[in-house]
Structure 1
Amino acid sequence: MQFRRVPTPLALLVGLLLGLLIGRALPSGILAPSWSNGPIFVSRLSARKQFTLPSTDQRHRVLELLSTLSPHHTTECTRNSQPLYVQQARERYKSLVGYEPPAQSSWLSSLGLGGFGDSQHVHSAPAKEHKYFFAINLYNSFDIIPDLFATLFRVSAILGYHNVYVSIYENGSTDQTKALLRIFDALTRSVGLRVTIRTSTRTRGAFNHRIEYLAEVRNQAFNPLHELRDSHNEYFDTIIFMNDILPCVDDLLELIWQSRRNNAGITCAADYMYHEEIGSPVFYDNWVARDINGTALENAPFEAIFHDAYSSDRFQMHLPIQVQSCWNGVAVLDPAPFYTPPYVSFRMAKLTEEECSASECSLICNDYWEAGYGRILMVPRVKLAYDKKVFDIVHPSRRNLTAIRGYVRLGGLPDNPRTDPQDRSWFGPHDRLFTPEESEEIEFVPGPSHVWCWGWDGAGDIDGPDVDPIWELMPNRSQSAEAVTVKHQRKMDGL
């Protein structure tokens, strides 16, 4: 028996009527109200926690983003790199490749330094295994999520998807960060990348200690690290903790390479913010970063950050520098102190013991020193931005280098930054050739006896340190050679 096709208008009308009947039959609070500006939905399933539905403008932004699913800012940062840099990068990061690439495909295409398009290929069995755990905290991060995930996709393709685990903890966002995370959660799973994304409506209360709150939020991103150990006996060899930054693929690869090359306890980038009065980017995270002599780094333009003369000289040459502490947007950590005594974690200061109320990131650096993992490294080549304005300044195309810095070509080959003065500027880190000194292992020395600390004890809306700065005495162990002795071998094969 054949049925006559129901006309489309009639089918739509029947569907609407059925929807209304079902909606009336179900209890209230199960179905969300219609999309409009500003309603509050209270769900029985969420313990009556409230959240705001997206506005029309927010919905438009999500749909617009879905039409591209590509990074906004970082898509070009390595695409037009000069051939000499591409060749160097291929050789430098070859030791990080975590799979056996097909004979006809170059792993460099996944890096973004060659032709794009191969990063989605499924590669064969791994050549070697080194497990990487990415921990990320996000808050109102709608604008950086596409770039962050695009970089994670490409870096994971190089390291081997089977070697990578991504843990994201988001809380308290008032934009559509949560909605966008759901989209990228599905995308990551589609390529076989393991990811845990946990969201919360929690925010810092008016009377909560700022550092206690931030430490708890960071520890939330680490929960899967311990869950995988307890439930599956799975351990990781390297941790990469990322803030809401705009990273390029070779930024993360260089930090991982330097971390493993030097068996560093903590390896950091250099991050920058725009200073309106100066009209230039300045170093940002000086509340955490401390030179190896214990002094604070400066919120200053590129050339005037370090007080220690030797550190300053190395910074001018973009060479890795030993520091007492740093975080700077991305930190690559040796996970051993998380797995073995004294089992470090993010924390607030022990105020009852008169410990200076430093940042939770400063305190974990101090704890690494005391645990004997005080090999802490800053990599100036890797320059990070938190927004498009600074990103565009520190990642210009090569043709703009002369105009930016006022250099006039004094000779040398146009495509060889070793002999071309304009390419030795602070800009264009993804186009500057590696020097032999950048590959040399650091000679780590014991930590300083005192470290400059500017405490932050207050709660509420206090927007900066509120305790008089002091020179804080460091534990004896951090001042001994044992604090910088290699305890966990993480080097790449052949290095």
Structure 2
Amino acid sequence: MKAKRLWRRVPTPLALLVGLFLGLFIGRILPPSLFGLSWARPNTPVFVSSLSARKHFTLPNVDQRKRVLELLSTLSPYHTAECTRNSQPLYIQQVRDRYKPLVASRSPSSPSSWMPSLGLGLSDPDGVYVSPVREHKYYFAINLYNSFDIIPDLFATLFRVSAILGYHNVFVSIYENGSNDQTKALLRIFDSITKSVGLRVTIRTSTRTRGAFNHRIEYLAEVRNQAFDPLHELRDANNEFFDTIIFMNDILPCVDDVLELIWQSRRNNAGITCAADYVYHNDLNTPVFYDNWVSRDINGTALENAPFENIFHDPDSSERFQRHLPIQVQSCWNGVAILDPAPFYSPPYVRFRMAEIVEGECSASECSLICNDYWKAGYGRIVMVPRVKLAYDRKVFDLIHPPRKNLTAIRGYVRIGGLPDDPRYDPQDRSWFGPHDRVFDAQENDEIEFQPGPSHVWCWGWDGAGDIDGPDVDPIWEAMPKRSQTTEAVTVKHDRSLDL
């Protein structure tokens, strides 16, 4: 009774102070897990992840749950699992030598155990990385929409490519919007997985869709720019700059596809470097080149949705394309584009945009327009790499990457001699769609001799006043700025050379 009266005499502020100290003391001595909390370790990197509220998700049905289980039972890719698993020895040796300058030095966030599993042998027997002269930082920008089927392959490739480039050198920005499948749910799972390997990833999702009356190019430009927001945020907040940008669509890439595009981009100090993408043509019963709305040869002529021998009108470009040699073009995108980031960081501060229609500019694709802007900024060294063939689905992927062991049986070829591991002496590799591990030709190592851009470029515009889903104005030959027609437009301004 006496103790009770003494407690009542304690001033209220003092009682609150005593309670505060007791709470802090208990919080320090008891483990956080006791309260269902999990605190990050002091040295754990902080990762940004912005995901939409759960209320936007719909629960998967039984079949979808089964697919998730099958796809995520391991970290291995689903469609692209055989890309480099059984590559021929000569190709593996070439890859080891070719991509050695891209391999990062060891860091705490990039464990060597990833390297042997890539199938390309990009580490020494002791698992020690080869240190380049200086570190090169890479920014991956990815747009996704209803991409459930390709996400496991995409992330598997990201994991492996980042292990080679160095997790500490890589930042991945993903912007997804408007999906009505389980893309958002799958991204949430992979967002957690990336943290376990120390890969920095920002995943931002939205329920926004284009709508029935939105201008297609304006909408697509805004969506693509969303994937670039962290690029500028990291510059402003942390003074962090990147040396190379890799912009990926919802494609099925192999590890060495991405490495080859990066290698060619840096080898040629290119402003933009792209692959070649394919879709299936039902009337021709064969894959054909896809992105001809954007791609233009160095004369400004549009490429064709056609089999490989009919894609380019320019004879020299067509010959190089059929020989898998890199080609200078006026513009391209084709599923993956490697960008020199300098025009994003300095004037004219390029961004994806729609055409200035009121100023008389042809209403081309946002990807065509950014190529034109690179020319005007003096970064007109644009390259297409035919060796890298990309698909958007499993059917086309299997057709353009047939297994080596099946080619003879399918096409009826008979070996006529030569070296078993050298495709130059192997008749079954003389077809265009040969095995993925086609041996490199010496000419694929040569730097391109760039020439100024064309005076006019073929443009089939989309004003949005007519057809809502595609080009709706008559095609024209659009005049290009004078600056893009001078040698200054193809002079190296930002040296990203490889140390070969």
Q: Work out which of the two has the higher radius of gyration on C-alpha atoms and give 1 or 2.
A: 2
Aligned partner of 1:335 in structure 2 is 341
Is contact 2:176–2:206 with CA below 8 Å preserved after alignment?
Answer: yes
1:405 Cα offset (Å): 4.2
Residue matched to 1:232: 238
Cα distance in 2 for partners of 1:294, 1:107 equals 43
Equivalent AA in structure 2 for residue 183 of structure 1:
I
**Counterpart-to-counterpart distance in 2, 1:344 and 1:478:** 15
Of the candidates 56, 66, 71, which is equivalent to residue 77 of structure 2?
Answer: 71
Match of 1:84 in 2: 90
Deviations 1:338-366 (A, max 9, x none): 00000000000000111111100000000
Mapping for residues 390-409 of structure 1, pairs under 5 Å:
390-409=396-415
Give, in angstroms, the shift of residue 122 of structure 1: 9.5
Identity %: 82
The aligned counterpart of 1:188 is 194
Over residues 68-120 of structure 1, what are the superposed CA-to-partner deviations in whole Å (9 max), with x where a residue is unaligned? Answer: 34311111111111100000000000010011499x9798635422499x99x
CA contact (8 A) 1:206 1:459 kept: no
On the 8 A contact 1:100/1:127 being kept in 2, the answer is no
Cα pair 2:133 2:499 within 8 Å, conserved: no
Q: Following the alignment from structure 1 to structure 2, what is the Cα–Cα distance between the partners of residues 105 and 164?
A: 16
Q: Name the amino acid aligned to 1:291.
A: D
Instruction: Tell me what 1:267 maps to.
Output: 273
Pick closer, same or farther for the CA change 1:182–1:459 going to 2, 3 Å: farther
| Unmatched segments (≥5 aa) in structure 2 | 1-50
Change (3 A) 1:48 1:77: closer
Shift of residue 206, structure 1, vs aligned partner? 0.9
| Residue identity matched to 1:113 | L
Q: Determine the C-alpha separation between the residues in 2 that align with 1:258 and 1:115.
A: 18
Alignment partner of 1:109 is 2:127: no
Deviation at 1:394, TM superposition (A): 1.0
Partner amino acid, structure 2, of 1:433: V
Alignment-derived partner of residue 499 in structure 2: 493
State the 1:426 CA deviation. Answer: 1.6
Contact 1:255/1:382, CA 8 A, preserved across alignment? yes
Q: Which residue number corresponds to residue 3 of structure 1?
A: none
Of 391, 403, 406, 1:385 maps to 391
1:244-290 per-residue CA deviation (whole Å, 9 max, x = no partner) reads 00000000000000000000000000000000110000000000000
Residue 112 of structure 1 contacts residue 249 of structure 1 at CA under 8 Å; is this kept in 2? Answer: no
What is residue 204 of structure 2 aligned with on the other side? 198
CA distance in 2, matches of 1:454, 1:377: 22
**CA distance in 2 between partners of 1:446 and 1:372 (Å):** 10
Distance 1:340 1:374 in 2: 16
* Cα separation, 1, equivalents of 2:104 and 2:121: 18
Partner secondary structure for residue 256 of structure 1: helix
After superposition, residues 236-315 of structure 1 pair within 5 angstroms as 236-315=242-321
The residue number in structure 2 matching 1:140 is 146
Aligned residues: 447
- 2:396 corresponds to 1:367: no
Matched, 1:326 2:332: yes
In structure 2, the CA distance between the partners of 1:339 and 1:194, relative to structure 1 (3 Å rule), is: same
1:303 deviation in Å?
A: 1.8
Measure, in 1, the Cα distance between the counterparts of 2:379 and 2:221.
20
- Residue 468 of structure 1 aligns to which amino acid in structure 2? D
Match of 1:250, SS? helix
Partner of 2:9: none
User: Hey, what's the Cα distance between the residues in 2 that align with 1:357 and 1:447?
Assistant: 20
CA distance, structure 1, for counterparts of residue 400 and residue 260 of structure 2: 17
1:211 counterpart = 2:217? yes
Which whole-Å CA distance do the structure 2 matches of 1:170 and 1:459 have between them? 27
CA contact (8 A) 2:106 2:166 kept: no
Task: Report the counterpart of residue 16 of structure 1 in structure 2.
Answer: none
Deviation at 1:460, TM superposition (A): 8.9
The one-letter code of the counterpart of 1:213 is Y
Structure 1 pair 493/170, CA: closer, same or farther in 2 (3 Å)? same
Q: Distance in 2 between matches of 1:110 and 1:376?
A: 33
SS of 2:423's equivalent? coil
CA contact (8 A) 2:325 2:444 kept: yes
Partner of 2:350: 344
Change (3 A) 1:459 1:243: farther
Contact 2:272 2:381 (8 Å CA) reproduced: yes
Q: Give the match for residue 8 of structure 2.
A: none
The equivalent of 1:62 in structure 2 is: 68
In structure 2, distance between residues paired with 1:90 and 1:125: 14
Aligned to 1:420: 426
Deviation at 1:57, TM superposition (A): 2.9
Q: Distance in 2 between matches of 1:124 and 1:412?
A: 34
User: Do the aligned partners of residues 106 and 320 (structure 1) sit closer, same or farther apart at CA in structure 2, a change above 3 Å counting?
Assistant: farther
| TM-score, with length taken from structure 1 | 0.85
CA distance in 2, matches of 1:419, 1:262: 29
SS at match of 1:341: coil
Matched, 1:432 2:438: yes
Change (3 A) 1:352 1:398: same
Q: C-alpha distance in 2, partners of 1:453/1:109?
A: 47
Aligned: 1:151 with 2:154: no
Code of the aligned partner of 1:198? R
CA distance in structure 2 between the aligned counterparts of 1:286 and 1:239, rounded to whole angstroms: 23
Q: Deviations over 1:293-332 (max 9, x none)?
A: 1100110012211000110110111000000000000000
